[in-house]
């Protein structure tokens, strides 16, 4: 039987939510991942040191039996340097959302005026705090990410020492940016390596595949696959696993988000195996993130096997990608 071992897998873009949802969902990531960068788009968003520390404690309390490092992120505001100095040891990154662009992002940035943002971004650069960005404009849905490239360029050139992570990239345009600016990096989800817009709306409409940014064209997926499968040193795995209750997905007005946390490693093995690239998966799912963020997770070893796995219909009222379907790989053991 074919098996594959991964050490210290990391999910560098993860929504764990809060309350009962957090208690139900966090253990699923904690089971198979060593750690993850936790997104701050709660209601209200995480913007103070007190909220950040209290949220981290709630996450730790939700995963009492597994070792899992919640790397914390703060919701971007035009913070001053004194505040950033006080919080920089408690966070791994700051996450910037354009205002209103996705779930719980209403308090995000409404203008990318460099002079206005300069004190914050320069301070982040000086303190070595990476900036993670949801890079979409409010343009036509298929063009939103490509249109954002000029903003990435503006930020990357004005703050050459600031590490900027283009989150959950979905386009060839974003892939092409990686080699243009030394301070641009990216996360890629598992679903954007598998699906295109056709899978979402080409046949029967699939609410559980609806997310932001929306899946794009086959040529975009090819470009993503190329850098992921070759473990380009500037790309990392970030699931963007985004749980919503079943009734909010299967409704008139479907919430954006694909829930993949419990099947992410199995699907990654399936995709990397399909393209004969399993040797590069360790870099994509852990080593690259360790070097980019300068983190050193505690030891965890996951053995996966090429044995079919029937994906549950739901995990505590949250429907995962491929619910009820059979995928090619399973988790054999976790140590
Ligand atoms: O599909 C998405 N869901 N995209 C995001 O950017 C946010 C996320 C969520 O929080 O549900
Ligand atoms: Zn996200």
42 Cα to the center of ligand 2, angstroms: 11
Residues 6+ apart with CB under 8 A from 101: 108, 134, 136, 138, 144, 212
309 Cα to the center of ligand 1, angstroms: 26
**Tokens for 249?**
């997905």
Cα 276 to Cα 54, 225, 273: the distances in Å are 43, 12, 5
Cross-strand bridge partners of residue 197: none
Per-residue pLDDT at 147 exceeds 80: yes
255 Cα to the center of ligand 2, angstroms: 13
Q: Please write the tens of the pLDDT for every residue from 4-52.
A: 999 999 999 999 999 999 999 999 999 999 999 999 999 999 999 999 9
User: Is the beta carbon of 211 within 6 A of some atom in ligand 1?
Assistant: yes
Per-residue pLDDT at 64 exceeds 90: no
Which H/E stretch holds residue 249?
helix 246-249
Residues 6+ apart with CB under 8 A from 179: none
Rounded distance between C-alpha atoms, residue 221 and residue 15, angstroms: 23
Residue 334 lies in a domain: no
User: Is the beta carbon of 15 within 6 A of some atom in ligand 1?
Assistant: yes
Residue 270 lies in a domain: yes
Q: Which of 136, 212, 249 gets mutated to test ligand 1 (max ligand atoms within 8 A of its CB)?
A: 212
Q: Which residue has the tokens 């989150």?
A: 167
What is the crossing angle of helices 144-158 and 114-127, to 10°? 60
Q: Atom 10 (ligand 1): residue with closest C-alpha?
A: 103
Residue 319 lies in a domain: no
- Average pLDDT, integer, range 173-190: 98
Q: Which residue has the tokens 């040529």?
A: 219
User: Is the beta carbon of 216 within 6 A of some atom in ligand 1?
Assistant: no
Residue 313 lies in a domain: no
Domain that holds residue 280: 11-298
Rounded distance between C-alpha atoms, residue 252 and residue 2, angstroms: 43
Q: Please write the tens of the pLDDT for every residue from 87-140.
A: 999 999 999 999 998 889 899 999 999 999 999 999 999 999 999 999 999 999
Residue 315 lies in a domain: no
User: Is the beta carbon of 56 within 6 A of some atom in ligand 1?
Assistant: no
Q: Taking a C-beta distance cutoff of 8 angstroms, is the pair 308, 326 a contact?
A: yes
Residue 316 lies in a domain: no
- Which of 23, 37, 76 minimizes the C-alpha distance to 243? 23
User: Is the beta carbon of 95 within 6 A of some atom in ligand 1?
Assistant: no
SS3 191: helix
Q: Are strands 326-327 and 235-237 parallel, antiparallel or unpaired?
A: unpaired
Structure-model confidence comparison of residues 171 and 64, the more confident one: 171
39 Cα to the center of ligand 2, angstroms: 7
**Tokens for 155?**
């930020």
Q: Please write the tens of the pLDDT for every residue from 194-227.
A: 999 999 999 999 999 999 999 999 999 999 999 9
Rounded distance between C-alpha atoms, residue 55 and residue 41, angstroms: 12
- Average pLDDT, integer, range 155-179: 98
14 Cα to the center of ligand 1, angstroms: 10
Q: Which of 107, 108, 242, 260 gets mutated to test ligand 1 (max ligand atoms within 8 A of its CB)?
A: 242
Number of structural domains found in the chain: 1
Confidence of residue 66 (pLDDT cuts 50, 70, 90): confident
The pLDDT of residue 31 is 96
Positions marked active-site:
240
Q: Are strands 326-327 and 309-310 parallel, antiparallel or unpaired?
A: antiparallel
Q: Taking a C-beta distance cutoff of 8 angstroms, is the pair 184, 209 a contact?
A: no
Residue 1 lies in a domain: no
CATH code of 269's domain: 3.20.20.140
Rounded distance between C-alpha atoms, residue 136 and residue 55, angstroms: 27
Residue 167 alpha carbon, nearest atom of ligand 1: 6
Residue 118 lies in a domain: yes
Cross-strand bridge partners of residue 6: 302
């Amino acid at each position: 039987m074919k098996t594959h071992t991964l050490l210290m897998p990391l999910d560098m873009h993860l929504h764990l939510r809060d309350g009962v949802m957090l208690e139900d969902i966090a253990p699923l990531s904690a089971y198979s991942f060593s750690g993850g960068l936790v997104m701050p788009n709660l209601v209200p968003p995480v913007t103070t040191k007190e909220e950040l520390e209290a949220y981290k404690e709630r996450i730790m309390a939700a995963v009492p039996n597994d070792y899992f490092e919640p790397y914390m992120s703060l919701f971007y505001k035009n913070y001053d340097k004194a505040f950033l100095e006080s919080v920089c040891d408690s966070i791994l990154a700051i996450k910037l959302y354009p205002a209103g662009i996705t779930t719980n992002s209403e308090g995000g940035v409404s203008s990318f005026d460099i002079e206005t943002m300069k004190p914050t971004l320069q301070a982040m650069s000086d303190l070595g705090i990476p900036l993670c960005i949801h890079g979409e404009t409010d343009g036509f849905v298929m063009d939103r990410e490509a249109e954002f490239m000029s903003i990435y360029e503006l930020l990357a050139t004005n703050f050459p020492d600031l590490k900027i992570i283009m989150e959950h990239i979905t386009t060839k345009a974003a892939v092409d940016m990686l080699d243009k600016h030394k301070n641009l990096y990216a996360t890629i989800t598992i679903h954007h390596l598998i699906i295109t817009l056709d899978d979402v709306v080409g046949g029967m409409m699939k609410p559980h595949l609806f997310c932001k940014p929306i899946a794009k064209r086959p040529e975009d997926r090819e470009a993503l696959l190329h850098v992921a499968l070759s473990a380009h040193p500037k790309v990392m795995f970030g699931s963007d696993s985004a749980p919503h209750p079943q009734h909010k997905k299967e409704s008139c007005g479907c919430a954006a988000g694909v829930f993949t946390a419990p099947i992410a490693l199995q699907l990654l093995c399936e995709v990397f195996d399909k393209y004969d690239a399993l040797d590069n998966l360790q870099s994509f799912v852990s080593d690259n993130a360790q070097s980019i963020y300068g983190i050193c997770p505690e030891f965890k070893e996951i053995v996966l096997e090429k044995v079919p796995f029937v994906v549950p219909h739901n995990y505590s009222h949250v429907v995962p990608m491929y619910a009820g379907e059979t995928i090619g790989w399973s988790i054999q053991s976790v140590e």
